[in-house]
Copies of this chain bind each other. A is one copy, B any other.
Amino acid sequence: MSAPEVPVRRQTRQRTAVLTLLDQLDGFRTAQDLHALLRERGDAVGLATVYRALQALVDDGLVDVLRGEDGEAAYRRCSPVHHHHLVCRSCGLTVEVADPPVERWAARVAAEHGFADVQHQLEVFGTCGRCTPAQR
């Protein structure tokens, strides 16, 4: 019934800077972090614009969002296919992982309890090798 609603995205220096930066990072970063990094690097971008650019990238499926313990959102350039994350609590380093079995499990469990329109969320947190202090 409604139009495809395809918002035309203009290519601006700011949006390019945000995506370029994300492509060079390997972990989840907060909008505030990204804003600070852009400023250090020289391509200054307004904070509000960083938020808007990130939201657009999320809508386009190019970036994933994750909420930290404190509720602050963190963003990462991710592959467009469904996957989960193995995240370092210390440095944010992230590895994309897949778990086919859990996909079916989630669907089955939801059906058994009469739930529809199901989605799931699975993340693994830990400390990566580089951040683990040399063990005795």
Interfacial residues, chain A to chain B (CB-CB below 8 A): 67, 71-73, 86, 88-89, 95, 97, 99, 101-102, 105-106, 109-110, 113-129, 132
Contact = CB atoms under 8 A, between A and B. Distances in A.
A110 to B, nearest CB: 5
A122 B123 CA distance: 7
A131 to B, nearest CB: 9
A116 B132 contact: yes
A70 to B, nearest CB: 9
Given A120-B122, A122-B121, A123-B121, A128 B102 contact: no
A86 to B, nearest CB: 6
Given A115-B126, A118-B125, A126-B116, A101 B97 contact: no
Nearest to A110: B126
A114 to B, nearest CB: 4
A116 B106 CA distance: 26
Nearest to A95: B113
Nearest to A126: B115
A64 B121 CA distance: 16
